[in-house]
A and B are shown apart, each in its own frame.
Chain A
Amino acid sequence: MTNSPRTPGIAAARLEAEILAQNFSDLHPPLDGHEALVAADRCYFCHDAPCITACPTDIDIPLFIRQIATGTPEAAARTIFEQNILGGMCARVCPTETLCEEACVREAAEGKPVLIGQLQRYATDTVMAAGVHPFERAPETGKRVAVVGAGPAGLACAHRLAMHGHAVEIFDARPKGGGLNEYGIAYYKTTDGFAEAEVEWLMKIGGITMHNGKALGRDITLEGLRAEYDAVFLGMGLAGVNALRAEGEERDGVVDAVDFISNLRQAENLAALPVGRKVVVIGGGMTAIDAAVQSKLLGADEVTLVYRRDRAAMPASAYEQDLAASKGVRFIFNAMPLEVLGNGAATALRCEYTKSEGRSLTGTGETFDLEADQILKAIGQTLDGAPDGLAIEGGKIAVTGAGRTSADGVWAGGDCASGGEDLTVTAVAEGRDAAEDIHASLVG
């Protein structure tokens, strides 16, 4: 270690390698067999269970937990994968505290839900660690489908189509598949190269070809795909980022949080990653939290998260907020950035307090300066380079029903499509449902 958290500016190796490894290890270590049984015993096997309703992919949670409790985690995994082929990743990254576990009747009964996410991981890990792929592909149909984007939506769609016997070709702009699972999720939520391993495991269904480094609009076009394939699914996510629209945004040290997170996820050596001594994160979503927490874990001395609205309005869940607070992230609510101060490199962020009336937000005139050598922008992503000819709604590709776009033979799902929350699990559901619709239209 050459540096410390108090080394000025942006520097690497602020913490010992050992501490870094500890900081970025599994946030929730996997349950062992005994822990899984104890947790499974708590499930009441509710009728028409609220947890199922709360799950965007409608996993039969009481059934899979009962299968764990009776010593058949393999059957439990199949129950999960039938609804959600990325059940392994969702078990790790789903905000269960706002989905299944929030709906769990034991949350209502005693404020302690059944550990659904961790039990799901227990079941899916059992099967994935054994290298078993639980599904078989139907006989070839001769139909070919192009999938743009190898993120959760694209992968779920491709897998379901392949299961039905169609030939699928996935095109992804990045060097690796997985999308945000690979590039956009906090390191400690999915460790040990799980995202990459999951893609490999998913592809075992057969019938799927992956083309990396192929971006829509650069290397391929929608028109070309429509001409060549029987159907096209668009699941390329939101590649653009919102601008701060504050003076001085171009100064050194001002970066997009998604890039910071992506670099971190792909880093071979965490100690080689530079991070500021004083980091300010702007935004209130999961990306903001992930960036803030990881800055702290990399060794930043002070990390402040600035959000323009109040705590209740924050898109990041209470659980995520508490996690950040527990790691030492400071929150400033009701404040918006005005200007990045500095001379070449950023030295501070000037902010103005806000007041909100309904949806509208105005500055109060009162300002303050936050010292900062690194400023991470996490103020939302945008659809970048949507193909011409597709109807757009609210900045996203407009879809109806199971992901049908305004263009014939073109479906869309995941973050790039309208409707649904921008969550891995929602993307999986949309990809899967679009695949069923595509299948119906191809064989119908």
Chain B
Amino acid sequence: MADLSSDFIGISSPNPFWLASAPPTDKEYNVRRAFEAGWGGVVWKTLGAEGLPVVNVNGPRYGAIYGADRRLLGLNNIELITDRDLYTNLEEIKRVKADYPDRAMIVSIMVPCEEQAWKDILPLVEDTGADGIELNFGCPHGMSERGMGAAVGQVPEYIEMVTRWCKQYYSRPVIVKLTPNITDIRKPAEAAHRGGADAVSLINTINSITSVNLDTMSPEPSIGGKGSHGGYCGPAVKPIAMSMVSEIARNAETRGLPISGIGGVTTWRDAAEFMALGAGNVQVCTAAMTYGFKIVAEMISGLSQYLDEKGMSLDDLVGRAVPNVTDWQYLDLNYVTKARIDQDACIKCGRCYAACEDTSHQAISMSEDRVFEVIDAECVACNLCVNVCPVEDCITMVELAPGEIDERTGKPVSPEYANWTTHPNNPGAVKAAE
């Protein structure tokens, strides 16, 4: 078994799987259960300032979208930060950390954008013995209307300012959690970096309406016939989150800034992908809320097996795919593939044919006895047939070796790397050549 013990910005945990700040980490009872189940760490549900706690709605907080067989693909919520008393939370955090010294205990905080508010709460958190804090600059609903959460995360100057306060008034690592509800994720990450953040974590949830009740015309979740945009999470957001993680990982301004990856992590494979794209660890919420804490057992066994099979350490994995994330203009235009259909694996559903014939390049033929074959002279290797085929590995993309004739162009495949920047169709390239 590979060693999964993780050191993230000096915070150690037996594995890189943390529970994200969310309902599963709202109180001692849940967190103890999570640690017993094997989670490496938790980010305690966001604490607010001292005083009367926030209140939540008393109707449904969650909405969902489903895949086949009612498999939950996306979840949204309109829950706020903890609605329990600050001191109750602090006492519980202290107790649990004392009982589980080997687990990472991070405290998520969201207080008003005033220095005094941070100055007040940080010593209280410091006193719990928690390993670090995470600044919730991402919550997109409710709190943002009060000038907190995403309202801060959308203004890089505020991020930088608050991060500085935290580094000033708190002695342990500071993680800044970023909202994806912006146009360029690099800007808030750069601000956090400038403010001295030890790490960023992302993504927080995405503004969303999961469905509309077509009888009542209320968005879901419906509170007495009205709905409000909630934060979207779960497997459906993973591609968005991974892109954002990779942008920060390869951005010159933020390269090397540790990242805690969040967004639809459901299996060990998802976790490994986030880490390959530069995340030092991952945080999980929706998968636990869907299946319970036990899923971490599969994440642990799966990641261990993978690392063993690859002969890699956890550190080797982190960022390993980052050099392969590039801009479109640098992609090799002389890399040519063709779709290949494994006739033994084919179940003759014809979806590849329908997709290609109706919506793509008419590059798959269908015989009367339902044999589907790729027409190389038409195939642009778009991959849609691979994507819609219900049988894994039935259709694959096969690379043409240099020198082979691409029947679509009638030309041999060039062995040279060539991209858009030098392509004759690129006006910029022509100009540069002149």
Contacts and interface: CB of A to CB of B under 8 A. Distances in A.
Contacts of B70: 37-38, 41
B354 interface: yes
A47 B354 contact: yes
Interface of A: 37-38, 41-42, 44-50, 105-106, 108-109
A50 B350 CA distance: 9
Contact of A47 (B347, B353, B390, B391): B353
B391 A45 contact: no
Contacts of B390: 44, 109
Contact of A50 (B348, B354, B391): B348
30 contacts: A37-B70, A38-B69, A41-B68, A41-B69, A41-B70, A42-B68, A44-B351, A45-B351, A46-B348, A46-B349, A46-B350, A46-B351, A47-B349, A47-B350, A47-B351, A47-B354, A48-B350, A48-B366, A48-B370, A49-B349, A49-B350, A50-B348, A50-B370, A105-B347, A105-B348, A105-B349, A108-B347, A109-B347, A109-B390, A109-B391
Contacts of A44: 349, 351, 390
B69 A108 contact: no
Contact of A108 (B348, B351, B354): B348
Contacts of A105: 347-349
Contacts of B348: 46, 50, 105, 108
Interface residues of B, number: 14
B190 to A, nearest CB: 45
Contacts of A109: 347, 390-391
A109 B345 CA distance: 8
Nearest to B67: A41
Given A38-B69, A41-B68, 9 more contacts: A38-B70, A42-B68, A47-B351, A48-B370, A49-B350, A50-B370, A105-B349, A106-B347, A108-B347
A109 B353 CA distance: 18
Nearest to B354: A47
Question: Most chain-A Cβ atoms within 10 A of its Cβ — which of B347, B349, B354?
Answer: B349
Nearest to B71: A41
A44 B354 CA distance: 12
A346 B238 CA distance: 75
Interface in B70-103: 70
Give the 4 A-B CB pairs with smallest separation, nearest first: A47-B350, A47-B354, A41-B68, A46-B349
Contacts of A108: 347-348
Interface string B359-385: 000000010001000000000000000
Contacts of A106: 347
Contacts of B68: 41-42
A48 B391 CA distance: 18
A38 B69 CA distance: 5
Contacts of B391: 109
Nearest to A103: B348
Nearest to A44: B349
A38 B349 CA distance: 20
Question: Most chain-B Cβ atoms within 10 A of its Cβ — which of A47, A49, A105?
Answer: A47
A442 to B, nearest CB: 35
Interface string B118-154: 0000000000000000000000000000000000000
Nearest to A53: B370
Contacts of A45: 351
A44 B349 CA distance: 7
A45 B68 CA distance: 13
Contacts of B350: 46-49
Contacts of A41: 68-70
B325 to A, nearest CB: 33
Nearest to A108: B347
Contacts of A47: 349-351, 353-354, 366
Interface in B187-205: none
A108 B354 CA distance: 19
B33 to A, nearest CB: 30
Contacts of B366: 47-48
A7 to B, nearest CB: 50
A42 B366 CA distance: 23
Interface in B226-256: none
A353 B59 CA distance: 75
B365 to A, nearest CB: 13
